[in-house]
Structure 1
Amino acid sequence: MNKVMTYPGHLRAITVLGLPLIGGHLAQFAIGLTDTIMLGWYGIEALAAVTLASSYFFVLFLFGAGFGLAVMPMVATAAAEENETSIRRSTRMGLWLSLIYATVMMPLLWWSYPILIALKQEPQIAETASIYLRIAGWGLFPALLVMVLKSYLAALERTQIVLWITVVAAMVNGVTNYALIFGNWGAPELGVIGAAIASVVTQTVALVAVVIYAVRALPDHSLFQRFWRPDWEMFMSVLRLGVPIGLTTLAEVSLFAISAVMMGWLGPVPLAAHGIALNLASATFMVHLGLSNVATIRAGNALGRRDRAHLEKGAITVIGMSLVMSVLTVILFLTCAEPLISLFMETDDPQRPQILLIGSGLLAMAALFQLVDGAQVIALGLLRGLQDAKVPMVMAALSYWVIGIPASYYFGFVQGMEGIGVWLGLVLGLACAAVLLMARFWLRSVHEVGEVPA
């Protein structure tokens, strides 16, 4: 019979497991933030181009990251069942699928210019973005492999090492960016190209570090021993779970990517303001994302033990923690918009007043969607822990594509609200997803986890 954990017990357990994951996500976010800040110092056009390029890259990356995200609940459940063979098999096939996916996606990164032009981006911005992607695209291979191995370690509750590896990667990125974007310390001044090189170097360093740790700290799992041998049964299991998770993530991220495209139609200054506001909103979202990962791990453990009471109390606790964070973020964005946006610009930038004006409005909209954005990602985390992915994928696609994107276009361009209207569409899409996914978890999925007999 499972020991019944109290709500304070759940709070402590989620905090201990979640803080390193939140820190790891913030450190990962800091990598992109460093690019944004330094390129903002370098020039507004460079910032606009990399904002566009990053949105394009992350659409591809986060779909492929579905295989890593699938590994997390599979390993968590196998660990609860004390099945080391399944831990090794699922992780290894997650690595296989990530390598295959990155290989297939490389042409879209290499030949991105005509795609960006087809999306009606300004030719100069599109050309600079495509130059960035031709180099940064090679980072897709190590980035996806790191995603799988981090998920594997997090599911085994080794979250401290996930944090420290990401912190080291963020430091490497900052130093390399500072050298190569501006030409410091005797390095050539490469601008956008320097940022792309720094991105690849950073992902490679992270991969080397996480592989060394996994091999040395968990030798019994033998992850890379006879790595070349196929395991088609587990390959298909990871594929069946990873594809809907990846498509769900793709639906959400593409909502933001399409919003970047729409902002690009308004010009480089609105696009740059969008990039700044989105970075600030993303920073606070990392807390919810870390809590979502904890929800996945603990729901996966509950599934492995068939302990519904544990699942329900843990879900209520993590939802409450996310709600508190959302309220704090709303207060921050509504009271400190100008100083936050100013972090991304030089004080003498001639376009500063325009960006402050547009960015402050967008940040007010970001405050609106904090509650629903946090709720939908927590619900997704809980559902993934129960390996419930196909119906949530459909719910997400309907919310983001059928409601969010058309609403962004309607309010932004038909109603003439421009950037504010585009972001209002984001709020509506995320709100719909939050309602549908929470309903799915509480009305159906949670009831499929039975109690362990006494």
Structure 2
Amino acid sequence: MTSSPSLAAGALGRPPASPWLDELRATLKLSAPLVLINLAQHGLVASNAVLLGRLGAEPIAAGALATSLYLLLFIGGIGLTSAVAPLVAEAVGRAAGAGADEVRRTVRAGLWVGFLVTLALMPGLWFTEGLLLALHQEPAVAREAGAYMRVLQWWMFPALAFMVLKGALAALQRPGPPLAVSLAALPLNIALGAFFAFGPTDLGIVGVALGTVITEFLAIAALVAVIRLDGGLRRHRMFARLWRFDAERFARVVRVGLPMGVAGIAEAGLFEAATVAMGTFGTLPLAAHAITLQIAATCFMVPNGIGQAATVRVGRAYGAADQAGLRRAGAVALWLGFGFMVACALAQLFAPHTLINLFLDAEAPGAAQVYPVAAGFLIFSALFAISDGVQSVALGALRGLQDTKVPMLIALFGYWGIGVPLGAALAWGTGMGGRGIWAGFCAGLLVVSVALVIRWRRLSAGRPRVPSAQPA
């Protein structure tokens, strides 16, 4: 099959000097703002960890338990709503451009999915303290984590709605508005969190959560306003008739997104299980684990953004039945993600204390005891960083092909068939403790990343199915 000219070259109105170089430029142009959005959004969680670190080892441990439980469920919601991006990208590639009705119906279905997910999860999150006590966490830490969660849970719907709109705008290659809003939200979150936690109200750990909730509601309101005022985006009428339930489009979003949500929960569940297990070793290992996770997650935002760009680039080529184009898009994204995570691994190996200082006040209670434990965990974090980046980009490329079921099974097997049991065996069976849990991470992620790359190579080598247009 003869490939069509690259999408980026067509947008620039010139033939590319090299299809690979042109694809690299297009991927960087799209992934750069998506990476910045991810970093800014993760910055909400990371800045909360920094604020909690100023409160001491116990608050950061409680925040880690509550946040990891929240993110476990929230990531499942993100997976479901992430179906919006490949569906809109496919429509754009299939036609000269996605019609207003096509985009509107997909966005509306994604918002409905986010609302129903929030409605289902919030009642359970209210009882976080009792759940953590049942999991044998320290009572004082469980009490603070429960108070933190009762406020933090109100973050879920506006955050999922933001993800829906970000995915649609990325597929339309308009990531600018969510980027601007995300960059503005980060300093606001820090300011509000510090004000409520340390200011006149002196709410402590609860104040940090309250600052994040207020920030997210302001962020989604700002993004909606920008979309409604922007002439190019207003024509899609994304918010028209939001109250109408579109069963056909809702089912399509769920069909593509549900395996993505399960895969996300499988990975997040690995980290949640590790956090709960780490809590059984005491407050200091749990605090060190929380800091290490923040460092690893911050690095992960870059390949995650590259993977989101791969979803759009592959999805557009898939809609256009451009086999060579989709293979180039996936390959370029994979090499970008791999290269960046190699650099991150080296930083974790050779500058651990510099990284730890970003998340822990050396003068905070218990900080001196946390440093050596966190430095030891960073050695294992460096080992799994490369696999983590590769699997994220490979998942993004496969989502561009709307291949989500088999990657879900790969994730379940790698994380829960290998990562969890091996980590438990090493932690308790060999006496490695928390280091054994991190070693299980390494093994599970390595298996998943290799299997996903093999899956991508096999699917991208075949003639792509030409997607059929959905009825309006």
Give the TM interval when normalised to the shorter protein: over 0.9
Deviations 1:376-433 (A, max 9, x none): 1111001111111111111111111111111111111111101111100011111111
Residue identity (%) = 37
- In the superposition, relative to structure 1, how do residues 446 and 297 fare at CA in structure 2: closer, same or farther (>3 Å)? farther
**For residues 363 and 316 of structure 2, what CA distance do their matches in structure 1 show?**
53
Partner of 1:194 in structure 2? 207
Partner of 1:434 in structure 2? 449
**For residues 209 and 368 of structure 2, what CA distance do their matches in structure 1 show?**
29
Does the alignment pair 1:205 with 2:218?
yes
Does the alignment pair 1:279 with 2:294?
yes
Does the alignment pair 1:119 with 2:104?
no
Note the C-alpha offset of 1:145.
0.8
Does the alignment pair 1:227 with 2:242?
yes
**For residues 435 and 378 of structure 2, what CA distance do their matches in structure 1 show?**
9
**For residues 194 and 309 of structure 2, what CA distance do their matches in structure 1 show?**
34
Which secondary structure does the structure 1 equivalent of 2:369 belong to? Answer: helix
Tell me if structure 1 keeps the 8 A contact 2:104–2:240: no
Residue correspondence of structure 1 range 165-180 to structure 2 within 5 A: 165-180=181-196
Partner of 1:396 in structure 2? 411
- Aligned with residue 85 of structure 2, among 51, 72, 93: 72
**For residues 352 and 102 of structure 1, what CA distance do their matches in structure 2 show?**
36
- Aligned with residue 350 of structure 2, among 335, 340, 344: 335
Partner of 1:63 in structure 2? 76
- Return the letter of the residue paired with 1:33: A
Aligned length: 449
Partner of 1:89 in structure 2? 105
Tell me if structure 2 keeps the 8 A contact 1:311–1:446: no
Tell me if structure 1 keeps the 8 A contact 2:53–2:364: no
Tell me if structure 1 keeps the 8 A contact 2:57–2:365: no
- Return the letter of the residue paired with 1:230: F
**For residues 15 and 32 of structure 1, what CA distance do their matches in structure 2 show?**
25
Note the C-alpha offset of 1:349.
3.6
Note the C-alpha offset of 1:354.
2.0
Moved over 4 A (4+): none
Does the alignment pair 1:288 with 2:303?
yes
Note the C-alpha offset of 1:88.
1.4
Note the C-alpha offset of 1:451.
8.8
Partner of 2:9 in structure 1? none
- Return the letter of the residue paired with 1:299: V
Tell me if structure 2 keeps the 8 A contact 1:68–1:149: no
Note the C-alpha offset of 1:77.
0.9
Note the C-alpha offset of 1:446.
4.7
Deviations 1:305-347 (A, max 9, x none): 0101001112111111111112211211111001211232233
Computed over aligned residues only, the root mean square deviation of the Cα atoms, in angstroms, reads 1.5
Instruction: Structure 2: state its 5+ residue gaps.
Output: 7-15, 468-472
Bigger drift between 335-344 and 143-152 goes to: 335-344
Partner of 1:105 in structure 2? 121
Partner of 1:43 in structure 2? 56
Tell me if structure 2 keeps the 8 A contact 1:153–1:159: yes
**For residues 138 and 210 of structure 2, what CA distance do their matches in structure 1 show?**
24
Note the C-alpha offset of 1:216.
2.0
**For residues 323 and 425 of structure 1, what CA distance do their matches in structure 2 show?**
21
Tell me if structure 2 keeps the 8 A contact 1:79–1:87: no
Partner of 2:4 in structure 1? 2
**For residues 379 and 335 of structure 1, what CA distance do their matches in structure 2 show?**
28
Partner of 1:182 in structure 2? 198
Tell me if structure 2 keeps the 8 A contact 1:67–1:148: no
Which secondary structure does the structure 1 equivalent of 2:82 belong to? Answer: helix
- Aligned with residue 153 of structure 1, among 149, 152, 169: 169
Note the C-alpha offset of 1:79.
1.6
Deviations 1:126-164 (A, max 9, x none): 111111111110111111111111111111111122211
Tell me if structure 2 keeps the 8 A contact 1:388–1:445: no
Note the C-alpha offset of 1:450.
5.6
- In the superposition, relative to structure 1, how do residues 223 and 141 fare at CA in structure 2: closer, same or farther (>3 Å)? same
Note the C-alpha offset of 1:227.
1.4
Note the C-alpha offset of 1:195.
0.8
Partner of 2:254 in structure 1? 239
Note the C-alpha offset of 1:89.
0.9
Residue correspondence of structure 1 range 287-306 to structure 2 within 5 A: 287-306=302-321
**For residues 186 and 357 of structure 2, what CA distance do their matches in structure 1 show?**
22
Does the alignment pair 1:351 with 2:351?
no
**For residues 429 and 448 of structure 1, what CA distance do their matches in structure 2 show?**
31
Partner of 2:38 in structure 1? 25
Larger relative helix fraction: 1
- Return the letter of the residue paired with 1:120: H
Partner of 1:54 in structure 2? 67
- Return the letter of the residue paired with 1:27: A
- Return the letter of the residue paired with 1:87: V
Deviations 1:19-47 (A, max 9, x none): 11111111111111111111111111011
Partner of 1:250 in structure 2? 265
- In the superposition, relative to structure 1, how do residues 336 and 219 fare at CA in structure 2: closer, same or farther (>3 Å)? same
TM-score (structure 2 length as normaliser) = 0.93
Partner of 2:437 in structure 1? 422
Which secondary structure does the structure 1 equivalent of 2:87 belong to? Answer: helix
Instruction: Structure 1: state its 5+ residue gaps.
Output: none
- Return the letter of the residue paired with 1:331: L
**For residues 245 and 363 of structure 2, what CA distance do their matches in structure 1 show?**
58
Note the C-alpha offset of 1:239.
0.9
**For residues 317 and 407 of structure 1, what CA distance do their matches in structure 2 show?**
33
Partner of 2:393 in structure 1? 378
